[in-house]
Amino acid sequence: AQKVTQAQTEISVVEKEDVTLDCVYETRDTTYYLFWYKQPPSGELVFLIRRNSFDEQNEISGRYSWNFQKSTSSFNFTITASQVVDSAVYFCALSGTGANSKLTFGKGITLSVRP
Amino acid sequence: SAVISQKPSRDICQRGTSLTIQCQVDSQVTMMFWYRQQPGQSLTLIATANQGSEATYESGFVIDKFPISRPNLTFSTLTVSNMSPEDSSIYLCSVDPGWNGYTFGSGTRLTVV
């Protein structure tokens, strides 16, 4: 069975601080995909990144960066120089392939960025 | 990425009634997924809908309560039957277009009174 653990439930930072959101996953699949989604107060789910299990390169997109480490089954997300607009719930998710392609979500992390 | 039109966006329903939620995708997709997000909670998969076959339900969800239709490769409906206040949630449909992240509909906010 697939499992995603987001041990942090709520994080509060002051604007311009860096913040890292942790994600640990469990799967028996050799091919799998990891995702991060943002859910702002408006409720829609915003796709941030998709990473496959064979690509351990870290990725940077503007103020966002992701650190994928298979050795520790972690896929952490860092926001640099946080802004108030980053306030949202962030979900880490995992999917397999084929018949196991459904997304399994972590419980989410509520990030509050204070001005 | 695929674009999903989901409706209604919200509804307030009386207990004991049923509500049907529709999702229309702008491209053909093999699988569509239905999720429930209870207040303050994460997303939980209800079922996976393949065109031409019966939906596959996750543990804790049954067809009599959440019947699903998938008449073609771009459309699906989820019905929440015999509703109770515990069914008050956001319901979302999702597809995997295969080249990016899973796309989600904007959600249906259901309140059962």
Q: Is the confidence at residue A94, as pLDDT, over 80?
A: yes
Residues of B with Cβ-Cβ distance to A50 under 8 angstroms: 100-101
Long-range Cβ contacts of B38-44 (<8 Å, 24+ apart): B38/B88, B38/B89, B39/B88, B39/B89, B41/A107, B42/A91, B42/A105, B42/A106, B42/A107, B42/A108, B43/A45, B43/A91, B43/A103, B43/A105, B43/B92, B44/A105
Confidence of residue B99 (pLDDT cuts 50, 70, 90): low
Grade residue A70 by pLDDT with cuts at 50, 70 and 90: very high
Whether the ω angle into residue B8 lies within 30 degrees of 0, i.e. cis, is: yes
Which residues in B lie closer than 8 A to residue A95 (C-beta atoms)? 96, 102
CB–CB contact A44 B107 (8 Å): yes
Is it the case that residue A81 has pLDDT exceeding 80? yes
Region B38-64 average pLDDT: 93
Residue from A91, A83, A8 nearest A44 by CA: A91
Q: Is 90 exceeded by the pLDDT of residue A57?
A: no
Query: Residue B38: is its pLDDT beyond 70?
Result: yes
Is residue B22 less than 8 Å (CB to CB) from chain A? no
List chain B residues with CB under 8 Å of A35: 101-102
Nearest chain A alpha carbon to B1: A47
